[in-house]
């Protein structure tokens, strides 16, 4: 004795099932691109470090020993240090913005 049962949705027509569904387009959360963040921090850090060196913020007002370094080397050293610090800071900010995007 074989019992044939009707499918659950036998009384629905195919076009009804398509019309009852709603399709929503959902935009994915915008995430920061890390490389532009870090490169912007590096460039800003170099500019700030170079400006500090050229402005004489760290110059010794009464040098007891004559320096063998040119002023351009001070610009380079402080520029690279500023680039490293600001690049690291920009990377941390990018990670925080990325984590914030995960929450929403």
CA–CA separation, 48 and 88 (whole Å): 15
CA–CA separation, 87 and 39 (whole Å): 7
- Token pair 């920009």 is found at 90
DSSP letter assigned to residue 64: S
Could you tell me if 86 and 45 are in contact, meaning their C-beta atoms sit under 8 angstroms apart?
yes
Per-residue pLDDT of the chain (104 residues; tens, 9 = 90+): 566 665 655 555 555 555 556 777 777 767 778 899 899 999 999 999 999 888 877 777 777 877 777 778 888 899 999 999 999 999 999 999 888 877 65
């Amino acid at each position: 004795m074989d019992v044939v049962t009707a499918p659950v949705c036998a009384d629905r027509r195919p076009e009804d099932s398509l019309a009852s569904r709603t399709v929503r387009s959902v935009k994915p959360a915008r995430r920061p691109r890390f490389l532009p963040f870090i490169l912007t921090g590096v460039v800003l850090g170099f500019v700030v470090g170079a400006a500090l060196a050229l402005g004489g913020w760290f110059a010794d007002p009464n040098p007891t020993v004559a320096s063998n370094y040119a002023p351009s080397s001070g610009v380079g050293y402080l520029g690279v240090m500023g680039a490293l610090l600001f690049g690291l800071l920009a990377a941390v900010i990018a990670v925080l913005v990325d984590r914030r995007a995960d929450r929403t």
